[in-house]
Structure 1
Amino acid sequence: MGLNINFTNKREQMSDKPIIKKASGETEPFSEEKLQASLRRTGASDDTIASVVNDVKSWLQDGTTTRKIYARAFSLLRKKRGGVAARYKLKKAIIELGPSGFPFEHFVGQIFKELGFEVETGQVIQGNCVQHEVDVVATGNGEQHLMECKFHNSQGKFSSVQVPLYIRSRMDDIIEKRKTMQEYNGLHFEGWVVTNTRFTSDALQFGKCSGLKLLSWDYPKNNSLKDLIERERIFPVTTLANLTRKQKNVLSQKGNVLCRQLLQHPEELDQLGLTHSKRKKLMEELEALNGK
């Protein structure tokens, strides 16, 4: 009896969609739904979303990186409306807070300040055994959050389990000491690790098991770094499409890491020497980001 074997292309069996390359180096079929969802989160209209998706699909081919897809979509959005483009740029904008971790620490502090906490950054705190440097201390509602910020210059870099393992021991030393101090009587203490990218699965498991709070780009669900920024409209100045990288660095070095700060104190823009027309476009973008 003969065998009727139909050898088909493996790619056609799996998917007829282009295979794209993620920042981590992994590959996956292009998802139109994911692109639509990312565009929808910016507040783009249905017509704008359809236009951008159709353009990307017509241009896309096997091996295209997510970075190039993002760049093309951002360019198209920027032509439509600056505020929408800035929100789409959010993930890259956090990376652009580097190369050092200092602006990111300040940004995290500003997020919690906007959420109603009293915030101190760059603190040296005495533990039960030794002193520790703590990036952010946020106090409010009967709680004190002691935070270590882990900044990565690449979206493909994850924080491994070694990070929360190390931070847990440091936070325990501080908390043990503070529980004996009268000035902190009645406060509930929590140790945190905040990263601008992601945690490995082992890191997440250890955080859950040990009681260490973890905050990353997409964790925890519905209250991730991305969720907090978008829900509270706490956008970093690096999202702005109408400023150069050098101009953004000038602002952040002066402590102006939030778009909201510039909207509240537009005099901070004086140091940039913007023309009247450029300043007007920038203010329109700032207002769009803040829902005005």
Structure 2
Amino acid sequence: MITRNFFLFLARNDFVKNRASKWGPKLGAKSVIAGETIEEAMETARQLNEKGLSATVDHLGEFVYNKAEALEATHYCVRTLTAMEASGVDCNLSLKLTQLGLDIDKELCLSNMRTILDTAKKYNNFVRIDMEDYSHLDPTLEVLQELRKDYDNVGTAIQGYLFRAEQDVDKLKGTNIRLIKGAYNEPPEVAYQDAKEVYNNYLNIIKRHMLNGSYAAVATHDHNIIAEVKAFAEKHGIAKDQFEFQMLYGFRSELQEEIAKEGYKMRVYIPFGEDWYGYFMRRLAERPQNITFAVRGLLSK
């Protein structure tokens, strides 16, 4: 837990962040971030598609502080969707509402999301609202609920380490949800702290969402969870087109390809952009294996 908290502290540390560009590539960041531009992200998606893998791209960034920045982020999302259509890649879009002005004005955020979803709908594409820290959970779900009145091409993510995850999954029946363990440092008042309890609750919400007939995006690198989900789907007659597996770009690539070859949809989350630091630190915090990966990258340089 000390190691996890250490990397989460670094993720919020502006002093370190401002100097990270010098040593970030040596820590392995370049291996898990698909460049800084839309063009680089599309090329990465194309390469993954050639291996039978689907993709979702996320232009990294959080917490804009004025309307101009929120509008700029919105236009960037529209450009990204347009690039997907032009390049013909099998890829959808992931984003964070704080990029679109959630902390400034909820109506501004809703307006920006409608602009993005209108573009995605025109291209028959899908947009995933990433879940952020606990303070943004209810505002995010409120925005999603409002958008779902007019759009069926939008979903979100639910974090399995939260006590309320089961309740939220049940409320979101019929919604395409990415199911994740969770990567933020939440207090014991709202989240499980024990790894086994997180594991059990995570599996529980996956199974509940799959059983209620909703589309489930199971985001995990844990081969035990993957095996359990496969067995559960087979036992309950849940078709392979009712769920997918998701993993991060640069992690367990061989396993990703194995899953795709077995006939399951395997989607790779591709982050890109200049603001990679917070994302990379949270990935190191999530699992000891990720820290080992980063150290290996450092020693190989």
TM over 0.5: no
With normalisation by structure 2, the TM-score equals 0.31
User: Which structure would you say has the larger Rg?
Assistant: 1
With normalisation by structure 1, the TM-score equals 0.32
More helix by share: 2
